[in-house]
Structure formats: C-alpha cells, structure tokens
Amino acid sequence: MLAGLVGVAGPQDGKPQSGKPQNGAQSIQPELYGKKICGWPRPEGVPNEVWENACEACTSVPTSPETSADGTLTSHSCDGGYEIRIKVVPGGKHPADAKRVVMKGGGLGEEKPPNGQEHRAGEIAEVAQTFTRYDASYPFMNEKGVIIGETTIGGRRELYSDEGMFDIMELERLALERASTAREAIRIMGEFAEKHGYGDGGECLTIGDAKEIWQFEIFGPGSAEIGAVWAAKRIPPGEVGVSANRSRITTLTDDPNQTMYSKNVYDVAEKMGWWKKGEPFLFNRTFGMSGPPTPNRREWRVLSILAPSLKLDPWAPEQPFSVKPDKKVTVRDLMAIHRDVYEGTEFDQTKNPLAGPFGTPNRWSMPRDYKPVEGYSPVERVVAVQQCSYVTVLQARAGMPAWIGSLAWFAPDDAKTSVFTPFYAGNFKVPTSFEIGRRDRFDRNSAYWASNFIGNWSNLNWRGMIQDIRAKQAEIENKLFADQPVVEKMALEIHQTDPARARTFMSDYSNRVAQENFMKWWELADKLVTDYQDGGSRTTPEKRTIPAEWLQQQGPIGTKLPTAPSAPPKVERKSEKKVEKKSETP
C-alpha cells in the first residue's frame, strides 16, 4: 500500500527529468503519481524519496489458526493518505438480470481532487446473494468470516497495465461480497482479474477464514494487456508470516492445498525474458523485483518478535516466508507489533538523534539536498508510522456463527497513539464517529481526528506522553479483552432461541464500546493538552525534564560566550608633587 503522497503529489515533488527512460523506466508526471510509481525500476522524473515513500508502506502479519491462541489472525496497517472512514455495506438478494457496477481508483478519501476519486470502469453480472461486508480504503471482513489484510508490493513496472477493469480494492470488495471461505475469495479474485483485467500495481493480500490463512500476490499482465499474473501460497499450519511491501512467494507446486496460481504464470515470465524452461522458477524474483533482494527491516522485526529463538539476521537480504513462533500468537501480540518502533534494538528510533530530546520515533521529510554520512542510513522504516490511516487486527474463529467468531480490532490513525476497538462481522453499522472524517478539516466528531490529534500532540514530549497514552490503552483494552468472552457467551445463549436478536445484541455492544472509546480518547487528548502546557508544567519532573544523557550527547549547547579579556598590565606612574597656586593680591 502506498504512503501519504499518493494522488496528492504536486509540482513541489520535482519536474520530470528530460531524456529517454532507461531500463524499462517510465516518465511520469507529478499529477499522475499514484500506484504507477511503486515498483521497479524507479520512474524517470520521480524523486527518489517520493518513490521510496510510496513503496515502503503497510504491514500485514498472517497467522495460521494452529499457532494462534484464538483463531486465524491477520492484520493491516493502512499506511498513507488514504480513506479514514469505515462503514458496513449490507448484503442482499438480487434479480437474475442484475448488474454490478465495477468502480476503480478510489479509497483515497473525499478530500482528494477529482482525479483521486473512484470512477466507473465497467459492469459484470451480479450474483443472486451478496454478503454484508466492511468497507474502508481496503475492505477487510464479511459476515461469513472471511478476513483480508493488505500491502503494496510494486513489482516490475513492465507488468503494469491501464487496460484492466479491476484495481485491488474492487477485487477485495467483490470477493467479500461473494466468498464464504478464503479459498473461494482467492478463486473469485483470480478469475475476474484474468478475465476482465487487473489495472493496478503489484499487491499482496493476506486472506483467511477460521480454518486457514493464505498470502495472495497479484501483478498486471504487461503493458496494454488484459489479464493478470497471480499466485497464492498457504501459510503452513503452525506458522506465521509477514508481508512488508515486497513479493514473498517463492516456489509454486501443483498441490492446490499449498499453492494456487494463474494459468499464464510461466508463459508471461518466458515472454518477458525473465525465465527459461528448465531453470528454477521463483515467483517473487521473476515478477516482484528486477534486481537482487535487499534487507527488509520490518520482515526481520516481525518474525524476530514472534520467534526470537531463531536469531534472524537483520541484514539478511531475505527472511523465511514463514516461521514457527516460540509461543502461541495472540491478538495483543499483533497489536504490539503494529505499535513497534524497534525499541530495545540497535535500530531503536527513539534513540536516533532525529528523535530530539524527548525521543519521538516519528520522522519528517529530509531535505532533498541532504547527503547522509557515507555508511549511514539516517532513518529506519518502522512498523508504526505517523502517516497511518488506520490499523486492523483481524480474527476468525470456528465453533460459533461467523458473525460472532470473526471480528476486526480497529484503531484509527497510528496504532501506537490510538486505541483498538472490536467491530464484529455481524455488525449492521458502525458509529457515526467512525463513518466521518476528512484530512483537510479538523473535526471533533471524528474518531480519526481524536487519535490523530493525540499522535501529533505527543511529538511535543514523546517520552512523557507515551507513558500516559499506554496507560490509557491498557486500561481500555484490558477491559475489552476481559469482557469479550462474557459478551460472546451471552450472544451464543440468545442465539439458541433468537439468532436475529443475538446479532442485534452483538452489533449494539460493538457500537456502544466503540463510541465510548472515541469519547475516552478525546478526554485523554484534553488531559494531555492540560498536563503538558508550557513544557509539561502539570506533569512530574521526570516527564518534563530534558534527559541529561541526551544533553551530553549533543556536545556544547547554547550561546558561545566571548573569551574574558586578560587584565591590562599595571603602569607605574611617577609621583607628582602637588603645586598649590597662591592667590595673587590685586
């Protein structure tokens, strides 16, 4: 998924360079910046920092049910300037001749200009019954318990085609409207992309249900072509994976219980000159990158948190596709991962000089003419970034109706300064505070703005405020997890005699706690404003005092005082006799 510059980059991002594009690069005007810039090689005319920002966004952690403490898990950090509103889209019955309009190019928020809004791309035959689903920038769950996480993986630019009817968001919507299982969702997306065309950048979706979780990767079929190249690989039972903006699927097999892929995988690879029959075939090396792999810090960090005993190398060019974690993985483990800034490691961003005296891990744009010292990288791409639109930790459990067993733990904005709240698959709606919001208008009625305000305010004194934020997160989330089994038990008891009332009960509970959390987050915001006024005058000295360690690291601080002048040499003067003038008598 793309970062905050998608669809809104302007002339300040640099004019396209003159000259003929090299090595398959395309010259792209700033007003057309979007998913086209994410991939290899970098398009001519797109500044390097814009390209890196676009391609280093979103993280997903697919977790098999056998290694989870409670059901299949996956996640998604929607990192960038994307849609901040969510809603429930009801399913329904449709007549035999009904058509479904296919939309393309949306998901960026209503504040974006017309060229950043969705438009009609075509239509297909509708099915008799569609399922209720959640919609956001990237749709993430339906009432049947199918859950989806996402990250953009770019891939080779030669694969991008404008001719395709579907982008990744619309493929997700279609799958959630029609699929009851993860495998069904994969088949639906693959078939429609192949038939009607995939017109989007390379994407990875982590798709699960109560029984299993898959990693699905898709690319265009080549310039001006209709179709798609895709593959899906199951996360092995008992293991956990990660997607962090690059293709991760390697070998393909003919066992449909392990891998699935499009019919044209080998033909396209051979036609483009990227593979020859008889050579080893690696899906990610063929379609996902045009050069050797390089270290991906987030892949290392996620897998190292969950399987520290493996002692993975943070500088390794590639990490394992999946690993067996040291212990059962919980929902709260994934929440913690999506709040991570590498604290306690050599890459800790709260210790970087750019963190300032109070250790903020958030980073702003570096000057274009800044050249780091050779051998140094000034900024690490962490998991939790301030430009995040929202985070979902998704859970699908067996043994109960899917609309109770599946839920999304949703955090508006950046998870490290936000709070998670549970939205069940059976919800009929979400509170208005989660349905509204624009990035260009501050709004106290918006859940996004409550979290975004706290995130921005915390940059004044991260070291102090994050203690208060984490305490409030723990207070709210501890209660939610304590209440969860009790509420679900009550719903199951009601379900035995009145399924419809049980679903209403769960929807009402979910919306009530979501609205309560929204109000509590604004209360926290007001408290932080009060407590940290004038440098933290109403907090403890420990929170407001600049750390001595940081001061010592800076060397001399303040105004350089002038050197004191030396004392002038003493000059001995000859004693002079005082001469008295006698008054003259007239």
> Quick one: 181 and 325 in the same domain?
yes
Euclidean distance between CA atoms 377 and 371, whole angstroms:
10
> Quick one: 252 and 386 in the same domain?
yes
Q: Is residue 465 part of a domain?
A: no
Q: Is residue 421 part of a domain?
A: no
**Residue 467: strand, helix, or coil:** helix
Q: Is residue 33 part of a domain?
A: yes
Q: Bridge partners of 243?
A: 60
The two structure tokens encoding residue 513: 């706690």
Instruction: Tell how strand 388-396 and strand 406-412 pair up.
Output: antiparallel
Among 354, 376, 409, residue at a domain's last position:
409
Q: Is residue 377 part of a domain?
A: yes
Output the pLDDT for position 561. 92
Look at residues 57, 58, 64, 1 and name the one whose alpha carbon lies nearest to residue 306.
64
The Cα-based distances of 446 to 172, 268, 434, 520 in angstroms read: 26, 46, 6, 13
> Quick one: 24 and 88 in the same domain?
no
> Quick one: 36 and 68 in the same domain?
no
Euclidean distance between CA atoms 550 and 355, whole angstroms:
10
In the block, tokens 């390209």 appear at 51
Among 371, 388, 409, residue at a domain's last position:
409
Q: State the DSSP code for 486.
A: H
Strands ordered across the beta sheet of 202-208: 147-154, 202-208, 213-219, 229-234, 259-261
Among 409, 442, 472, residue at a domain's last position:
409
pLDDT one digit per residue (tens) for the chain, 586 residues:
333 222 222 222 333 333 333 333 344 444 445 556 677 777 777 776 666 666 778 999 999 999 999 999 999 999 988 999 999 999 999 999 999 999 998 888 988 887 778 899 999 999 999 999 999 999 999 999 999 999 999 999 899 998 999 999 999 999 999 999 999 999 999 999 999 999 999 999 999 999 999 999 999 999 889 999 999 999 999 999 999 999 999 999 999 999 999 999 999 999 999 999 999 999 999 999 867 788 899 999 999 999 999 999 999 999 999 999 999 999 999 999 999 999 999 999 999 999 999 999 999 888 888 888 999 988 899 999 999 999 999 999 999 999 999 999 999 999 999 999 999 999 999 999 999 999 999 999 999 999 999 999 999 999 999 999 999 999 999 999 999 999 999 999 999 999 999 999 999 999 999 999 999 999 999 999 999 999 999 999 999 999 999 999 888 988 999 987 777 777 766 655 555 555 555 4
- 496-512: string of b/e by CB count within 10 Å (b at 16+)? eeeeeebbbbbbebbbe
> Quick one: 2 and 84 in the same domain?
no
Euclidean distance between CA atoms 143 and 465, whole angstroms:
38
Q: Cα-Cα-Cα-Cα dihedral of 472, 475, 480, 483, to 10°?
A: -160
Euclidean distance between CA atoms 328 and 240, whole angstroms:
10
Q: Is residue 121 part of a domain?
A: no
**CATH number for the domain including 300?**
3.60.20
> Quick one: 392 and 321 in the same domain?
yes
> Quick one: 31 and 166 in the same domain?
no
Q: Is residue 572 part of a domain?
A: no
Look at residues 60, 513, 73, 521 and name the one whose alpha carbon lies nearest to residue 332.
73
Q: Are 60 and 322 in contact (CB under 8 A)?
A: no
DSSP state string for 90-153: --EE--TT-EEEEEES--S-TTS-GGGS-EEEEEEEPPSEE--EEESSS--BBTT--EEEEEEE
Angle subtended by helix axes 447-457 and 499-531, to nearest 10: 30
Look at residues 161, 225, 201 and name the one whose alpha carbon lies nearest to residue 39.
201
Output the pLDDT for position 15. 31
Euclidean distance between CA atoms 244 and 327, whole angstroms:
22
- What percent helix, strand, coil does the chain show, rounded to 5? 30, 15, 50
> Quick one: 29 and 72 in the same domain?
no
Those residues whose C-beta lies under 8 Å from the C-beta of residue 373, and which sit 6 or more positions away, are none
Q: Is residue 392 part of a domain?
A: yes
Q: Are 196 and 166 in contact (CB under 8 A)?
A: yes
Q: State the DSSP code for 285.
A: I
Q: Is residue 12 part of a domain?
A: yes
> Quick one: 286 and 364 in the same domain?
yes
Q: Are 423 and 410 in contact (CB under 8 A)?
A: yes
> Quick one: 137 and 49 in the same domain?
no
Output the pLDDT for position 114. 77
**Residue 187: strand, helix, or coil:** helix
Q: Are 222 and 159 in contact (CB under 8 A)?
A: yes
Number of domains within the chain: 2
The range of the structural domain enclosing residue 351 comes to 57-92+128-409
Euclidean distance between CA atoms 240 and 213, whole angstroms:
9
> Quick one: 259 and 371 in the same domain?
yes
Amino acid (1-letter code) at residue 5: L
Q: Are 296 and 319 in contact (CB under 8 A)?
A: yes
> Quick one: 303 and 371 in the same domain?
yes
